Amino acid sequence: MSVTTDYQIIDQIEQEHRDLELHFEMVRRVFEQNEQQPHVIQSHLAELLALLKTHFASEEDGGYFVSAVEMAPHLAAIADALEREHEQLLKRLEGLGARLSIDTSEPIDIVSLRVEFVSFLDACAAHEHRENDLIQEAYLTDIGTGD
């Protein structure tokens, strides 16, 4: 793989992660501003879920992790753990959305849901940062060795 392509891949992934973070921030504000309108929050959570599914699938199918591990086999365990986290993060977000859709006479505890959502966003941001680190380390190691 050429050096230019390596840097383009790093840029592309980091750009996607920056876009995701902007989206996280937008939904976080929606949550704060619509505590009386759970259906508005619910539709934004559903949209975020779809976006994350697409993002994770593109990382997995795009083979970034596979090529990263080919270039830097010592990162295999980290790459595996990051891929497993995709599934866990999606389930966590699905769980939050489901609590807004439960048809019950009980009031929804929107404040604690928001606290959990913010903690979910922190986990996602930390996950994406670890992916950036993995990709950078793998590709820059590869560039350094002149492959």
Total residues contacting Fe ion by CB under 5 A comes to: 2
Cβ 52 to Fe ion shortest distance, Å:
9
**6 versus 131: smaller Cβ distance to Fe ion:** 131
Q: Record the tokens describing residue 141, joined without a space.
A: 């190691």
Residue 6 interacts with Fe ion (CB under 5 A): yes or no: no
The CA–CA distances, whole Å, from 87 to 55, 77, 81, 110 equal 12, 16, 11, 25
Distant-in-sequence, close-in-space partners of 96: CB < 8 Å, separation ≥ 6: 45, 113, 116, 117, 120
**8 versus 33: smaller Cβ distance to Fe ion:** 8
DSSP secondary structure string, 54-98? HHHHHHHHTTHHHHHHHH-GGGHHHHHHHHHHHHHHHHHHHHHHH
**34 versus 132: smaller Cβ distance to Fe ion:** 132
Cβ 124 to Fe ion shortest distance, Å:
9
C-beta of residue 55 within 8 angstroms of C-beta of residue 20: yes
Cβ 131 to Fe ion shortest distance, Å:
5
**6 versus 128: smaller Cβ distance to Fe ion:** 128
Residues of this chain, 98-137, that bind Fe ion according to CB under 5 A: 128, 131
Cβ 17 to Fe ion shortest distance, Å:
6
Binding site for Fe ion (CB under 5 A): 128, 131
